Structure 1
Amino acid sequence: MTLERLLYISESRLGEAEVNSSVAQIVADAQIRNAALELTGALLFTGTYFAQILEGPTESIEQLMSSIKDDPRHANIIIVDRSPIEMRRFPDWKMAYHGPSEFVSRHVVRLLHSPPRSEQRRATEWLTELAHEFSVGPLPIRNLNRS
């Protein structure tokens, strides 16, 4: 089975009043769906953007991305990186999630502005590493208000 890692960024269409419940529902649904599709990964949310790392079989990633493209909670989806992998970075997480971060936001926005390929690769690796660090400890769903 061929495994891939995909990183995409999308703009959130969630209203401020629905952020907490909607992101919690996204994570809960993803954990169930990803298990069925043999996908692992992590979700980063900045309050404005989602950045998600998916790992798994090519066909499963295709199926999930098709669903995400039809999801009204996402807009302007950009696939930042897609590459074959030999082993998963998130083998124990059907969907790791830590909470919103302004620090992460700066790096996500940088990827949206078409950086040179070498800088894009570094930023992709950095976001993947950051998501992995978040996934090491317990991951409570935090208050997502943008205040």
Structure 2
Amino acid sequence: MLQLVYVSSANRREAPDPVRILATSRRNNHRDSITGLLYSDGTRFLQVLEGPETKVAEAFARIEADPRHRALVVLSRRTIEAREFGNWDMAHHAPGADADAIIERVAALSANASSDVRATFDGFAKVRRAA
């Protein structure tokens, strides 16, 4: 099973709609047996995809072609024995929302991830809280 972690920025010309992204992602990921976590604050995205190697690669190719994303950087790509993020979920930090609550939610959602991946999500959430 493949686990891929990437970060990207929202393309300001293509305003991201987190509700629409979540609905489409849930549909596609369920179909392709992909799970993971997407953290978004509307400006930056940090996502982990876990599942069959070909399906994760196809999903990432769709993301790379999506005009709502720019400056995609793969942070980690590794083979895993078991899913570290369980069922798909999305954490979204809306402007004015309780930043500490989102950090706690991200920590809970990434609790079973490897220490490196968990630290990536924790650090990202904390940095984005300050942004």
What's the TM-score once normalised by structure 1's chain length?
0.63
Q: Deviations over 1:89-137 (max 9, x none)?
A: 22222xx112117678xxxxxxxxxxxxxxxx96533245x5xxxxxxx
Of residues 75, 89, 100, the one that matches 2:70 is 75
Matches within 5 A, 1:18-37: 18-19=15-16, 22-37=17-32
Unaligned runs of 5+ in 1: 105-120, 131-147
- Partners of 2:42 and 2:116 lie apart in 1 by 19
How many residues in Structure 1 have an aligned counterpart in Structure 2?
107
Within the candidate set 116, 119, 129, 1:126 is matched to: 119
Secondary structure in structure 2 of the residue aligned to 1:54: strand
The secondary structure found in structure 1 opposite 2:22 is helix
Q: 1:52 aligns with which of 47, 52, 55?
A: 47
The answer to whether the 8 Å contact 1:68/1:74 transfers is: yes
| Aligned equivalents of 2:44, 2:82: Cα separation in 1 | 27
So what's the TM-score if we normalise by structure 2? 0.70
* Letter of the 2:83 counterpart: R
- Which residue number corresponds to residue 41 of structure 1? 36
Please report how far the alpha carbon of residue 15 of structure 1 lies from its aligned counterpart in structure 2 after TM superposition: 6.0
Could you list the structure 1 runs, at least 4 aligned residues long, displaced by more than 2 angstroms after superposition.
90-93, 101-104, 121-125
* Percentage of matched positions with identical amino acids: 27
> Aligned-residue CA RMSD in angstroms?
2.7
Unpaired runs of 5+ residues, structure 2, are 103-113, 123-131
